[in-house]
């Protein structure tokens, strides 16, 4: 099972070629992370300015959730805000679906599965480039799974940063 997941990750990173259109890159990244993780809802937020994050791509959202995402913005320091209020495991942050979020992070709580949770994984590459939020029906993430998913997000972040550099 583990080797199959690593092969999936390698295939995903290999598919994130710099010659692809940016929208296609993010769509592939989000879809691949959803497939790898087993989380039905995934939102990728990227730094828009030095102070804000905006959602770039998502899967598993209803039409009304998608409409909200189009205009959503979050402060870039959202990780600092969340670490003060939620469960933290390494770089990852997670919260139960029934728990409210601080007002400046409320837009992250995209999908609330009854009895489920959401998991936030930072996209770090010399600095915070964004965050990936995964939502699913399990009560909480397993530590082993969280560590693997952070490695997946790290690899995807490197591939996306390389693509950004090539296009610049």
pLDDT band at 55 (very low <50, low <70, confident <90, very high): very high
| Helix segments in the chain, DSSP class H | 2-15, 22-37, 63-71, 78-83, 143-167
Run of H or E including 38: none
Give the residue numbers spanning the domain of 112. 2-167
Span 59-115, pLDDT tens digits = 998 888 888 888 889 888 888 888 887 887 778 899 898 887 877 777 786 677 888
How does the average pLDDT of the chain come out, rounded? 84
- pLDDT value of residue 5: 65
Residue range 42-47: average pLDDT? 92
Output the domain CATH number for residue 53: 3.30.450.40
- pLDDT value of residue 41: 92
Run of H or E including 1: none
Measured distance CA(43)–CA(58) in Å, rounded: 4
3-state secondary structure 71-114: HCCEECCHHHHHHCCCEEECCEEEEECCCCCCHHHHHHCCCCCC
Span 30-44, pLDDT tens digits = 988 898 888 999 999
Predicted confidence (pLDDT) at residue 117 exceeds the cutoff of 80: yes
CA distances from 31 to 39, 81, 138, 152 (A): 10, 27, 19, 13
What are the b/e assignments for 106-132, b being 16+ CB within 10 Å? ebbebbebeebbbbbbbbbeeebbbbb
Measured distance CA(123)–CA(15) in Å, rounded: 18
Tokens of 163: 């693509």
- pLDDT value of residue 91: 83
Q: Are 12 and 156 in contact (CB under 8 A)?
A: yes
Tokens of 146: 């969280």
Predicted confidence (pLDDT) at residue 14 exceeds the cutoff of 90: no
Predicted confidence (pLDDT) at residue 137 exceeds the cutoff of 90: yes
Q: Which positions ≥6 away from 2 have C-beta within 8 Å? A: none
Predicted confidence (pLDDT) at residue 26 exceeds the cutoff of 90: no
- pLDDT value of residue 105: 78
- pLDDT value of residue 109: 66
Predicted confidence (pLDDT) at residue 131 exceeds the cutoff of 90: yes
Count of structural domains, the chain? 1
- pLDDT value of residue 167: 65
């Amino acid at each position: 099972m583990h080797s199959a997941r690593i092969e999936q990750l390698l295939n995903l990173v290999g598919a994130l070629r710099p010659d692809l259109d940016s929208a296609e890159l993010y769509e592939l990244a989000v879809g691949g992370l959803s497939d790898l993780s087993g989380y039905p809802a995934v939102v990728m937020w990227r730094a828009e300015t030095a102070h804000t994050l905006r959602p770039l791509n998502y899967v598993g959202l209803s039409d009304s959730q998608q409409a909200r995402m189009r205009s959503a913005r979050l402060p870039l320091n959202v990780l600092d805000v969340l670490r003060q209020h939620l469960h933290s495991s390494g770089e990852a942050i997670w919260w139960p679906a029934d728990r409210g979020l601080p007002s400046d992070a409320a837009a992250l709580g995209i999908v609330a599965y009854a009895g489920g949770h959401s998991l936030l994984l930072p996209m770090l590459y010399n600095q915070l480039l964004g965050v990936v939020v995964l939502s699913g029906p399990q009560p909480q993430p397993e530590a082993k799974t969280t560590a693997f998913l952070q490695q997946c997000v790290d690899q995807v972040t490197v591939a996306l940063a390389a693509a950004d550099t090539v296009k610049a």
